Amino acid sequence: QAEAHPEAFTRYKPGQDESHLRELKLVTDLHTAILNNGLHMNYQPKLNSQTGELVQVEALVRWIHPELGFISPEEFIFLAEQSGQIHDLTAHILQRVASDARRWHEQGVDAGVAINLSAMDLTWPALIQHIGDTFEGWHHNLERVTLEVTESALMEDPEEAMATLNRLRELGVTLSVDDFGTGYSSLSQLRKLPVQELKIDKSFVLRLDTEPQDQLIVRSTIDMAHGLGLKVVAEGIENLEAWRLLQHWGCNLAQGFYLSRPVAPEDLPETARALADR
Ligand code: C2E
Ligand code: CA
Ligand code: CA
Ligand code: CA
């Protein structure tokens, strides 16, 4: 009769069990979604800060679950990592991006692509081969493929990360440190990495218009990165004031809802035209 006892009942944690069940379901259904094109991609423009020109688009994966609706990428990418599916997911995303990009080029959209890698992809032996094969037709244009790797992923195992980044550089892709400012890497570590771009995390950019401390951090990060010969991207630009400040400080690339939301691949040509006409 323990189940019916009020004390036993208060010890029962419905929230925990339900979230465990949800995870199990998501892990199983993610496998199906990867195999059956149940995922789709959105692309968010990264603009030249000075001219407003479209330079590249960042690929952001989306999953609308048939019963549970929108699942955030943070949630299902974590589950993919935990359940051993992350490399299948990354390989799938690479294919999607390459085929979307091929179509845009046929439609006259001139934009590079940026793809997010998971920390675990950096220790995936087949990564280099996959990237090389996926973008084989890009010939000497591989620098127009940017790989975004978070600062914290790089710091998990800096030596291993360095080896992978060096091999990716040999392929000719551009390497970007994502979420910069959130991962406690030191300047000396950053200086040794073969990266070309530094992406300031949106937590420093969202309130740039009103927060003097964020202004100080962003401004000095831009100066430091330029001193190291890196290009700087700011993400999370949500208003004109933030964009003006970043332009004034010489930030190279700009990304945020104020400039453009992430869009479906079929809408990119129209978005590119609208950006050019602005
Ligand atoms: P992230 O790489 O830092 O991507 C930027 C996130 O900020 C995206 O959220 C984007 O929609 C959002 N964002 C862009 N502009 C603004 C803005 O002006 N204001 C605000 N508040 N947010 C803005 P999203 O798409 O939900 O992605 C979240 C995270 O999930 C990404 O952070 C990335 O870490 C991960 N992710 C997304 N797609 C992929 C993928 O294809 N592969 C991997 N490995 N990770 C991915
Ligand atoms: Ca990113
Ligand atoms: Ca970020
Ligand atoms: Ca992130």
Indicate which ligand has the atom closest to the C-alpha of 60. 1
pLDDT-derived band at 4 (thresholds 50, 70, 90) equals very low
Is the CB of residue 103 less than 8 Å from the CB of residue 265?
yes
Cα(144) to ligand 3 centroid in Å equals 20
- Residue 240 pLDDT > 90: yes
Question: Which protein residues touch ligand 1 with a CB less than 6 Å away?
Answer: 44, 59-61, 72-74, 77, 93, 116-118, 148, 178-179, 202, 235-238, 255-257, 262
pLDDT at 150 over 70: yes
Burial class (CB in 10 A: 0-12, 13-18, 19+), 231: middle
Question: Tens of pLDDT along 26-74?
Answer: 999 999 999 999 999 999 999 999 999 999 999 999 999 999 999 999 9
Confidence band for 187, pLDDT divided at 50, 70 and 90: confident
Atom 38 in ligand 1: which residue has the minimum CA distance?
60
20-24, 137-141, 218-222: the lowest-pLDDT one = 137-141
pTM beyond cutoff 0.90: yes
> Cβ(180)–Cβ(213) under 8 Å?
no
**ipTM surpasses cut 0.90:** yes
Tokens of 243: 């964009």
Q: Which residue out of 44, 87, 116 has the highest number of ligand 1 atoms within 8 Å of its CB and is therefore the one to mutate?
A: 116
Query: Closest by alpha carbon to 221, among 236, 199, 202?
Result: 199
Count of C-beta atoms within a 10 Å radius of residue 28:
11
Per-residue model confidence (pLDDT) at position 19: 87
